[in-house]
Amino acid sequence: MPKIAMIGAGSVVFAKRLIYDILSFPELAGSTISLMDIDAERLDLIARLATKLAEQEGFDVKIDATLDRREALKGADYVITMIQVGGLEAYELDIDIPMKYGIKQCVGDTLGPGGVFRGLRSIPVFLDICKDMEELCPDALLINYTNPMAMITWAINLATGIKTVGLCHSVQGTAAQLASYIGAPSEEVSYWVAGINHMAWFLRFEWNGRDAYPLLFEAMGRPEVYSKDKVRFEMMRHLGYFITESSGHLSEYVPYFRKRNELIDEFCTEGFGGETGFYLRHCRESWKPHYDRIRKQIAGEVPVDVERSHEYGAYIIHSIETGTPRRINGNVLNSGIITNLPQGCCVEVPCLVDDAGLHPCYIGDLPSQCAALNRTNINVQELAVRAALERDRDLAFMAVMFDPLTAALLSPREIRKMVDEMFEAEARYLPGW
């Protein structure tokens, strides 16, 4: 049975979700789950929670925990990564310094100044993980959940020989949202989605085999629906296709909605609708109630809550181990899959999965307007990846300079000053620069 290494397992709530997903498949009984984190307290917490979960549900599993990454990777068949290099301290700098310059990010982990610097911090760590994998488990599949997804996946494909897929929940999550907008049961809708991570396009959206886009445009006209997803509905109104991820995320990737306060007030509403600094506040405030409940679960005061999630990770492992065919959406190397996006970039496309692994599906050309918007983000990703691989501050500056929102707000001199300040503030998280 497989050994599954979880790197960054101190992300306790998410790690617990993936552990249950894996163990909920009877065919994966007898697996080994090796939990690894650099935070001993969090590692102990997830190890005890996983053990409690296995006892409660009667799962046959071997769980071990280690602070030694190489020990976790040794002999692994699957490696799942969910790390945040620099933690909240670095993330605060990603949000707070650009804010001084008028760049009001909602999440700041994928594009923009925050996404670029998160990529600069994360890519070298992933290359180190891959170097260890090439020695200790060269045939393992690296399943990555860490943002910035496209930059990290691109760098891994460019600089290593490790098999990898980047996973997000925005495709299946958005599909469920769209079903609710048109009043359809989620199990009755089908879709074909492709593009880049956090900006993939619902090229087809159907309800019981019939085109559901007319219903979606009709739903957009209802204020109670439109108000839930203003930015994405506006982009659909003008480009004709609905985009994955939240309105808050999307508002950061385009130059239209966050450059004036009145636009932010009109389109970027509370929470993942686009409230400035929302996700950083969420990270600061949400951990305590989560951890209080986890400690009660470990103590047996309340049961460990269990429900299989819609995350793709466990389904991929199950399909490869059993040959059960499935289709997921994954982030992979663009090797002629989307023909009007750059070769070698990272694309998010449907992938078939079976006992031979992952098989990305051919898309061909995206609609021209969809590819055009994707390219504005790919430009930033490419420069950021090159900056991280070459430790080149000028390339990092250019990555931020070509960010659509930053370019809508700042002059090149102002961008240079901001980037220099971020490099100085984050120096301890950027060794070798």
* Catalytic sites, residue numbers: 169
Query: What does 200-248 look like in DSSP terms, one character per residue?
Result: EEEEEEEETTEE-HHHHHHHHTSHHHHTTSHHHHHHHHHHSS-BSS-HH
Given a contact cutoff of 8 angstroms between Cβ atoms, the answer to whether 180 and 205 are in contact is no
Query: Vertex 177, ends 174 and 178: CA angle to 5°?
Result: 90
Say how far residue 314 (Cα) sits from the centre of its chain. Answer: 16
Residue found under tokens 């959206």: 205
Query: Vertex 203, ends 185 and 148: CA angle to 5°?
Result: 95
Given a contact cutoff of 8 angstroms between Cβ atoms, the answer to whether 72 and 62 are in contact is no
> Which residues are bridge partners to 106 per DSSP?
none
Whole-number Å distance between alpha carbons of 109 and 94 = 8
Given a contact cutoff of 8 angstroms between Cβ atoms, the answer to whether 366 and 341 are in contact is yes
Ramachandran region, residue 253 (left: φ > 0; alpha: ψ -120 to 50; beta: rest): alpha
Q: What Å distances lie between residue 135 and 76, 138, 160, 163, CA to CA?
A: 11, 6, 12, 14
**Bridging pattern class, strands 210-211 and 199-207:** antiparallel
Given a contact cutoff of 8 angstroms between Cβ atoms, the answer to whether 97 and 23 are in contact is no
Q: What Å distances lie between residue 426 and 89, 243, 395, 421, 429, CA to CA?
A: 9, 32, 17, 9, 5
> Which residues are bridge partners to 199 per DSSP?
196
Q: Please state whether the peptide bond connecting residue 98 to the residue before it is cis, i.e. omega within 30 degrees of 0.
A: no
Residue 4 phi, psi (nearest 5): -120, 115
